[in-house]
Structure 1
Amino acid sequence: MKKINLLLLFVFTITIFSCKQTNDGVEGATQKDANGYSYQTFKNDPTGLRLYTLDNGLKVYLSKNTDEPKIQTYIAVRAGSTYDPKEATGLAHYLEHMVFKGTDEIGTLDWEKEKEYLKQISDLYEQHKAEADPEKKKALYQKIDSVSLIASNYSIANEYDKMTSSLGATGTNAYTSFERTVYTNKIPVNELDKWLALESERFSQLVLRLFHTELEAVFEEFNRGQDSDGRKSYFAMLDGLFPKHPYGQQTTIGTGEHLKNPSMVSIHNYFDKYYVPNNMAMILVGDIDFEETIQKVANTFGNLEKEEVTHPTLPTEEPIASPVVKEVFGPTTENISIAFRTEGINSKDEKLVTLADMILSNGNAGLIDLNLNQQQIVQYAGSGTSFLIDYGLHRLVGYPKAGQTLDDVKNLLLAQIEKLKKGEFEDWMIEAVVNDLKLSQTRQYENSTALASMYVDAFIHQEDWAERIQFLDELRNITKQELVDFANKFYKDNYVVTYKRKGEDTSIVKVENPGITPVNLNRDKSSAYMQKFNKMEATPLTPKYVDFKSEIKETQLTNGIKVSYIENKQNDLFDLNIIFDMGTDNDKKLGLGVGYMEYLGTDTYSAEELKKEFYKLGIDYYVSTGAEKSYVGLRGLKENLSEGLKLLSHLWNNAVPNQEAYDKYVAQVLKGRQENKTRKGAILQSGLMSYAKYGENSRLRNIFSRSELQNMSPQELVDIVKEFKNYEQRIFYYGKDVEAAVTALNTHHKVADELKPYPQATEYTELETGGNVYFVDYDMVQAEMMFLAKGSPFAPENMAASSLFNTYFGAGLSSIVFQEIRESKSLAYSAYSYYAEASDKDDSNYVMAYIGTQANKMEQAVEAMMTLMNDMPEAEEQFNAAKEATLKKLAAQRITKSNIFWTYERLQKLGIDKDHREEMYKAIENMTIADLKEFFNKNIKGEEYNVMVIGNKKDVDMKALSKLGKVQEMDVDYLFNYEKVQDIKQ
């Protein structure tokens, strides 16, 4: 299916129409429910949307999904970075952070006293913003810091988060982008009343408490953006596409200068202007009753007062007459993008560009997929679209092979557009592309979170849901000639080309550590509102557990292979998996062979023709090999299962080795290694983490050398993959018509009469931890650290305590670690700790911690983390809230559909043969904070850590690091066991 560019917005952000009503019900029929509330429904709507509009203008999107007793909630505001004042960019995003800080009722111990200090802080910020003298600004900031400390005596940090956590909510967060700010929670259905009461209070008023500590967190987020070459490239592209419009001139995070000079007055004004019900929507998708739900929403959010809302008139862009060139520098691998500016939502451009994009790149049979990726002419290439209210964009991205220039890649990408303009794609492609999009859409419709996100898009873009439903049918009506004519008219020299080059970024903004005094958290105190909130009762949910052995049915093929199956009761999609309990630990060449098969044809089809045949069928196939397991799978429409399996079996049995394809594949693997070691995430979480656990003898380092790869026989690899099907195996099928699936397998999945046992697996020994600091020098603004301590062997009886410990101590916005390190001390944007249960019964558990912070705060942040890891604060009220939250999450959790099988697979690896949650629930019910302290003392306190650090050596205090253990500066090539570039060139 379509591979979406991660830097682009959601591809299904589609149409915008003013809301119309007609008598035929196509655009939306208006009805009244039992309570007299009017709502719209839409003809042929597979989502069953009811769209209400309250008297105060609030839009309410309701849809029913009974998979689990939960509701995906979104509160969306038409207010994003596009509408930031030019002199205060980043305002919408910073406001998003502050909406979590409470109101005059939430988060305060004494509002009358607290508001006096908040007024002083606001006035000081206005003076600070107006002051030009740097020394006087510092003095004002010190005054802000001192008054903030006093104000914190009357505030309660994270009280909103504590309350949502007590509901058993998950995914508590928010995000801001161009035209929106959206607040998210997924709640148990029985907690809807309490959630609505809490949210209606939260959005009734803005209180900017704990302002300067949160500002530091935003600065850390700003630094993370400076450390992301992908973000920098994206912003450079937007700057070229939109030289006038805020899309290109105002980043969501804002400029460093504006962040240094905030105005609490401006933030209040922004909230008052845009955070009004007629500029907001509530989206609820889950196990709801429509009439009861809208009544409850009206009783709470219906009390918010409507205000006139006017969004600013934004500049209109001139046409791009010739290519605009942008350059970005940074440590990661080089790449290039070519972006075309389009018209926005609901334009003819949107439909035609969406189709053009899928013809170019759909992850399988697009022009870029087949001509560049399949033939390994570039390292990787793809494309994606993004459509907003005023404009959209179509972006092509390419990564060069070794020895290839960025301009080479640019020309190859432009050549694919020329093929599109000449109509050099087959006539069936448009139909196949629309079917592909339809499959993706079907999967989204059955997922409450994905569907709720679609409704958010519809609201933000003011689109008629009826038009949204019809969008794919409209694509289907576009002819090939119409698309070709459009391409010739549209794709000219009207693009922005962005070169991402390796090198030092001289535009980095250094942020000074202001030396914030830690504020008071008042962790064990609560506001009168929270006390009242906690007394509200909800009908408890009864946990439901799975009897795996009755839910997972079994049959077998005529050759005796076991088939486990679960019926798909929702739609006609299927997912078929052939499972081998062996992987690269058993045969290191297996993974190499599986990757190589991607580029091979057969005696009947070329590799490109095979991709096309699968795409015609609307079938995805995959072969994946992990360390211990391997999978061969198909998924798509059940009506095409047999033909898809026939085609897959043909490839498996008749693949023909190709030396040229193998040589290109080896070059791609070697280039991939060079790219991998430029990614800080890969270095920290893969390279350093593996070395900290296993040392030199690890899976990560057990790789083929360059010469071994080049001298390997392609025929041998093909033979290994072909013979792979004759090893012991089992099958899992999720879908309808199991008999038809079994018949297809009996017909097309032919294996040896006697299946082979698995080869002996290579074993890797987990080392003891402690006393080691592994450091990698990397050009970045922040520094990132991970702490790793090997714990005791896996024990099922610890699962309850570890789950509760993680909720209370280290994971989430209301956890001890987050509160102490970010909320109180402003020492990091991200900080967490958790007790990691092993994934195999023979492996060890681990104690983990992470800090991402400015290098000049590292020593303080480490000290704060280590203090917590050796002396767990005991907060009775917070413990009780964490306990309640953990129990409610378990009670609302449902294991359904194919997840039943995959959960059972995971548990069996741990030696567990039943639903473990029942025992966990009972154990947590009876736990006290003394029990948790005992767990902490036994499993966390006093652990010896290996510490992994990545940062800029010029900024990191190496002497401070040496206090944690012996500092070893690690060579990245050595970590991954790669050969150095100069060695490869010899």
Structure 2
Amino acid sequence: MKIFKSMLLLLFVLLLSNCKDSSTKADTSDVIKTEQHTDSAGFNYETVSNDPTGLRLYTLDNGMKVYLAKNEEEPKIQTYIAVRAGSNYDPKETTGLAHYLEHMVFKGTDEIGTQDFAKEKVLLDQISDLYEEHKKESDPEKKKAIYKKIDEVSLEASKIAISNEYDKMISSLGAQGTNAHTWFEETVYKNKIPVNELDKWLKVESERFSQLVLRLFHTELEAVYEEFNRTQDNDFRKSYYATLEGLFPNHPYGQQRTIGTSDHLKNPSMVSIHNYFNKYYVPNNMAVVLVGDIDFDETINKVNDAFGAYEKKEVAHPVLPKEQPITSPVVKEVFGPTSENVAVAYRSEGIGSEEEKLLTMADMILTNGKAGLIDLNLNQKQMVQNAGCSPLFQNDYGFHRFSGTPKNGQTLDEVKDLILGEIEKLKKGEFEDWMMSAVINDLKLSQTREYENNTALASAYYNAFIHHQNWEDRVKFLDDLKKITKQELVDFANKFYQDNYVVTYKRKGEDKNVTKVENPGITPVELNRDKQSKFVSDFYEIETSPLQPKFIDYKTAIKQTNTENGLEVSYIKNPNNDLFSLNIIFDMGKDNDRKASLAAGYLDYLGTDKYSPDELKKEFYKLGINYNVSAGSDITYVGLSGLKENLDAGLALLEHLWGNAVADQETYNKYVDKIAKARDDNKTQKGNILWNGLMNYGIYGDNSALRNIYTIAELQEIDPNELVTKVKELKGFKHRIFYYGKDVDAAIASLNKNHVLNGDLADYPEETTYLEKETGGNVYFVDYDMVQSEMVFLAKGSQFDPSKLAASRLFNSYFGSGLSSIVFQEIRESKSLAYSAFSAYSNASEKDKSNYIYAYIGTQANKMPEAVDAMMDLMTNMPEAEKQFNAAKEATLKKIAAERITKSNIFWSYEGLKKRGIDNDNREEMYNTIKNMTLEDLKKFFNENISGETYNVLVIGNKKDVDMKALSKLGKVQEMDVDFLFNYEKKKEDIKL
């Protein structure tokens, strides 16, 4: 639900804006045009000639847009319902409204989520009136008194409400990814459903968007406030917001955060939210997007039946302020506990402008991850810790944002100046002519990968809708880029990149603008799990044609052959396009040799006796070939991917690097400095501290792979020639190959020619093993400057047992994961104790390792004791709800039935099964087991595997706010040093005297 799409969506939109396509067609711009059609039922729709996605765009009589595309690879449909309603349109006095409304659309209608709406409405109206009174009142004590009354009436209203009915129905379909997000100009609701459940999904969504009922309002508001707290603990977001404020001093892009302000969140207006819904949630301001295994004619009829009766209304979005040109650098500064970085951003025109095309090209010339100016001159040469850039385009404006992290001893201004220096090279045209066409090919390659994915394609469609784009313009986008000449790009760069930027310094230090929040003391509301509305009862009576699961015979799906030198080659043919991936696999990794990953990382910065490092990167980029060498704990990959026509040239180049890399001491010294700085940066990231440092210590204690690292002093003593030798000698160990693509014979021929072996292959070095410790009685705490506190309860279970896979999957669905799970309902929905809470029985990925039980809570420090009690009660006594169990069981079975393991995933899923000692598609056994399970069976699983477990408790929070006495009741509290968790050397300035 989740406001911040922010960077995930930001990065994703960048991909879509770049419109990356990997076809090798000639320029077809003269035949790309929109065409009008009429189907057999009389519905009019548009297509675009030479559109690789096959979109049909319908417009219903009431103005609703319907985007349909067909993909038969799996029996699922990615669904989006998009509304042109985002935070840009929030009234200034009630920011956060669009986002909070998004949350409330999950709460039901007068038919969903209630036992008696007539009675409930009386109380909801009373609550609404109280909120208006609360909003107007300025006296703090009187406001508290009103809020207490709101809490009392809300409790009474909850006795009539039925919590999570929407989530239960959608879950029962076997839906995945149920969620929503709000951003500047959009709110988008998401589900991925089995294809046979389309009718039931449409029934629910048709009712859901027909009206708004603001039930369970104050508990959800508290959850949104926890979401607000999470943003205060995210330094990237703070820096991003500061950049937007500088770029847009008048426009809502910079002046209204999607989450809203603290004051506005604490003084909501239910009346304003209703008004917003009635204004913007109308069919001519909405789109339905369906991409999957659909029949076009049947589907549009069904969508029209579901939404065609919605009444069209005139929609007038507010006229937003225009910005004046930025004439000199604008400086912003933010503080927080994470590592320092700097961002430089230039404001641009919005989507559909010529600047969008020119900036897309400029961005790729500057950084494409391989051979851009910043890639080669800053990252490859290790002039900074890392640097990059990306554009973002919205309706009114866009921007091009550059970011950089300093090396040890480097200032933020030095990083900024290095980035600006690369922009100057672009302005001077200091890049080779071939880069322009290589960028187009790179974008084509990326787009092919995206268009294979239903979710990515559906996202492209809803983005086109939100941004008022003709799909024809997106199809032509790459052809338009091809027309840009180098001189045009250079002229644009000189005009665009001047002293008209915003620079944001993210500095390490205390953020004095953090808002501290009181615990309002909400009375837990009723959930009424045993109740069911008539709508839901009728919904469950609707029969659908069952979807039959399909299981894989791995031994026939994965073909086998050999190279001339006897290497085993597993292969799967690519049925869709001319892309390939080739992996040379060594079943040894860091646990066999600590220098393996060190050598793999070093190789990326090296050249050969023939090519400099820069030249090598350029040669791969010209071919449209990506390569990688990576080492995991027990496996190492040498990989190659790209267009199959360039496989042979790419493999020859990779083998040349592999056999002829040249060590360089200066490069190695910088590489070690980079590792040292990465360690410094890693220990400032709270997610890394909790889920990596504390989690590993909770499992292994002192002796873990995480802590088994070289010190920086030891790294400095290593001869880089030894690392290069290690990479070269890697080929002398036993290995195997997996190929995914067309023309297997050509791939084998290329391997025979290029992958030459000398002599017998050696066995692997002995693997280091790490013993899992028993859990219980320990509280490991890390002091961290943050608003929320986060904690994980961790218990070691029994050794991996395949027979537990079925029960654990059903248990996780019923109990711990998802919006309709027991944990989510109790911790968040009923008690408002956390924004995020979940639990899982986690099965080991290897046959000789242990399963683990864990539970997570992220909440305000002043709510932690209550949240702990609530979670521990659940982990000891599993609530039993027969209807909820049956829904979870049905959902789990439907998810398995709709699962399709395809393409290269067939090989990789089999690799995972073999590590667990399983040599067949065990989903069939799981499916049949779950089909016969009862609630009593699940209770037995809970009692035998979860209830009564003793936990290590992993906590990160601000020591000044956390109730340490309360933590001590959970076990012996040990305050952990972050350097110790990761076995890093402590710097002198970090030593407390």
Query: Which bracket does the TM-score occupy, shorter chain normalised?
Result: over 0.9
The structural deviation recorded for 1:7 is 5.6
2-structure distance, mates of 1:469, 1:577: 33
Aligned to 2:897: 891
1-structure distance, mates of 2:759, 2:553: 33
The structural deviation recorded for 1:475 is 0.7
CA shift digits 1:99-120 (9 cap, x unpaired)? 0000000000110100000000
Aligned to 2:956: 950
Aligned to 1:675: 681
2-structure distance, mates of 1:886, 1:6: 28
Which TM-score applies when normalising by structure 2? Answer: 0.98
Q: 1:413 aligns with which of 419, 438, 449?
A: 419
Aligned to 2:217: 211
Q: 2:575 aligns with which of 569, 573, 577?
A: 569
1-structure distance, mates of 2:349, 2:922: 53
Aligned to 1:19: none
2-structure distance, mates of 1:639, 1:576: 13
The answer to whether the Cα contact below 8 Å between 1:649 and 1:749 also exists between their aligned partners in 2 is: yes
Structure 2 letter corresponding to 1:549: K
1-structure distance, mates of 2:170, 2:362: 44
2-structure distance, mates of 1:38, 1:7: 33
Q: Is it true that 1:323 corresponds to 2:329 in the alignment?
A: yes
2-structure distance, mates of 1:602, 1:739: 29
Q: Is 787-796 or 25-34 further displaced after alignment?
A: 25-34
2-structure distance, mates of 1:908, 1:359: 43
Secondary structure (helix, strand or coil) at the match of 1:891 reads helix
Q: 1:10 aligns with which of 1, 13, 37?
A: 13
2-structure distance, mates of 1:532, 1:25: 50
Aligned to 2:175: 169
Structure 1 letter corresponding to 2:232: Q
The structural deviation recorded for 1:753 is 2.4
Q: Is it true that 1:762 corresponds to 2:765 in the alignment?
A: no
The answer to whether the Cα contact below 8 Å between 1:5 and 1:384 also exists between their aligned partners in 2 is: no
The answer to whether the Cα contact below 8 Å between 1:15 and 1:467 also exists between their aligned partners in 2 is: no
CA shift digits 1:32-77 (9 cap, x unpaired)? 1111100001110000000000001010000000110000000000
Q: 1:941 to 1:671 in 2, by over 3 A?
A: same
Secondary structure (helix, strand or coil) at the match of 1:786 reads strand
Structure 1 letter corresponding to 2:977: D
Aligned to 1:62: 68
The answer to whether the Cα contact below 8 Å between 1:165 and 1:881 also exists between their aligned partners in 2 is: yes
Aligned to 2:149: 143
The answer to whether the Cα contact below 8 Å between 1:25 and 1:42 also exists between their aligned partners in 2 is: no
Structure 2 letter corresponding to 1:263: S
The structural deviation recorded for 1:303 is 1.3
Structure 1 letter corresponding to 2:891: A
The answer to whether the Cα contact below 8 Å between 2:64 and 2:283 also exists between their aligned partners in 1 is: yes
Structure 2 letter corresponding to 1:725: K
Q: 2:947 aligns with which of 941, 944, 947?
A: 941
1-structure distance, mates of 2:176, 2:92: 35
CA shift digits 1:325-348 (9 cap, x unpaired)? 000000000000000000001111
What pairs with 1:517-916 in structure 2 (closer than 5 Å)? 517-916=523-922
The answer to whether the Cα contact below 8 Å between 2:18 and 2:443 also exists between their aligned partners in 1 is: no
What pairs with 1:183-582 in structure 2 (closer than 5 Å)? 183-582=189-588
The structural deviation recorded for 1:707 is 1.2
1-structure distance, mates of 2:247, 2:553: 56
Q: 1:6 to 1:66 in 2, by over 3 A?
A: closer
Seq. identity, % = 70
The structural deviation recorded for 1:896 is 0.6
2-structure distance, mates of 1:302, 1:562: 58
Q: 1:302 to 1:25 in 2, by over 3 A?
A: farther
Structure 1 letter corresponding to 2:269: S
Secondary structure (helix, strand or coil) at the match of 1:633 reads strand
Aligned to 1:45: 51
Structure 1 letter corresponding to 2:138: A
The answer to whether the Cα contact below 8 Å between 2:18 and 2:360 also exists between their aligned partners in 1 is: no
The answer to whether the Cα contact below 8 Å between 2:97 and 2:260 also exists between their aligned partners in 1 is: yes
The answer to whether the Cα contact below 8 Å between 2:246 and 2:254 also exists between their aligned partners in 1 is: yes
Secondary structure (helix, strand or coil) at the match of 1:852 reads strand
The answer to whether the Cα contact below 8 Å between 2:67 and 2:287 also exists between their aligned partners in 1 is: yes
The structural deviation recorded for 1:14 is 3.6
CA shift digits 1:602-653 (9 cap, x unpaired)? 0000011100000000011011100011111011000000000000000000
Q: Is it true that 1:972 corresponds to 2:978 in the alignment?
A: yes
Secondary structure (helix, strand or coil) at the match of 2:880 reads coil
Structure 2 letter corresponding to 1:101: K
Aligned to 1:20: none
Secondary structure (helix, strand or coil) at the match of 1:97 reads helix
Aligned to 2:23: none
The answer to whether the Cα contact below 8 Å between 1:883 and 1:924 also exists between their aligned partners in 2 is: yes
The answer to whether the Cα contact below 8 Å between 1:76 and 1:282 also exists between their aligned partners in 2 is: yes
Q: Is it true that 1:113 corresponds to 2:113 in the alignment?
A: no
1-structure distance, mates of 2:298, 2:960: 61
Q: 1:959 aligns with which of 957, 962, 965?
A: 965
Secondary structure (helix, strand or coil) at the match of 1:100 reads coil
1-structure distance, mates of 2:18, 2:206: 30
1-structure distance, mates of 2:625, 2:538: 54
2-structure distance, mates of 1:335, 1:811: 35
The answer to whether the Cα contact below 8 Å between 1:559 and 1:753 also exists between their aligned partners in 2 is: no
Secondary structure (helix, strand or coil) at the match of 2:106 reads helix
The structural deviation recorded for 1:6 is 7.9
Q: 1:119 to 1:351 in 2, by over 3 A?
A: same
The structural deviation recorded for 1:752 is 2.5
Secondary structure (helix, strand or coil) at the match of 1:426 reads coil
The answer to whether the Cα contact below 8 Å between 1:680 and 1:778 also exists between their aligned partners in 2 is: yes
The structural deviation recorded for 1:950 is 0.2
The answer to whether the Cα contact below 8 Å between 2:365 and 2:372 also exists between their aligned partners in 1 is: yes
The answer to whether the Cα contact below 8 Å between 1:9 and 1:386 also exists between their aligned partners in 2 is: no
The structural deviation recorded for 1:983 is 7.8
2-structure distance, mates of 1:622, 1:477: 32
The answer to whether the Cα contact below 8 Å between 2:32 and 2:476 also exists between their aligned partners in 1 is: no
CA shift digits 1:365-410 (9 cap, x unpaired)? 0000000000001000000010000000000000000000000001
Aligned to 1:103: 109
Structure 2 letter corresponding to 1:839: S
Which TM-score applies when normalising by structure 1? Answer: 0.98
Structure 2 letter corresponding to 1:875: A
The answer to whether the Cα contact below 8 Å between 1:93 and 1:176 also exists between their aligned partners in 2 is: yes
2-structure distance, mates of 1:804, 1:716: 50
CA shift digits 1:631-689 (9 cap, x unpaired)? 11011000000000000000000000000000000000001000000000000000000
Q: 1:440 to 1:24 in 2, by over 3 A?
A: closer
The structural deviation recorded for 1:758 is 0.5
Gaps spanning 5+ residues in structure 1: where? 17-22
1-structure distance, mates of 2:277, 2:339: 41
1-structure distance, mates of 2:203, 2:757: 61
2-structure distance, mates of 1:256, 1:437: 41
Secondary structure (helix, strand or coil) at the match of 1:401 reads coil
Secondary structure (helix, strand or coil) at the match of 1:303 reads coil
The answer to whether the Cα contact below 8 Å between 2:32 and 2:475 also exists between their aligned partners in 1 is: no
The answer to whether the Cα contact below 8 Å between 1:13 and 1:387 also exists between their aligned partners in 2 is: no
Aligned to 1:982: 988
The runs of 4+ residues in structure 1 deviating greater than 3 Å are 4-9, 12-16, 23-26
Secondary structure (helix, strand or coil) at the match of 1:417 reads helix
The structural deviation recorded for 1:760 is 0.2
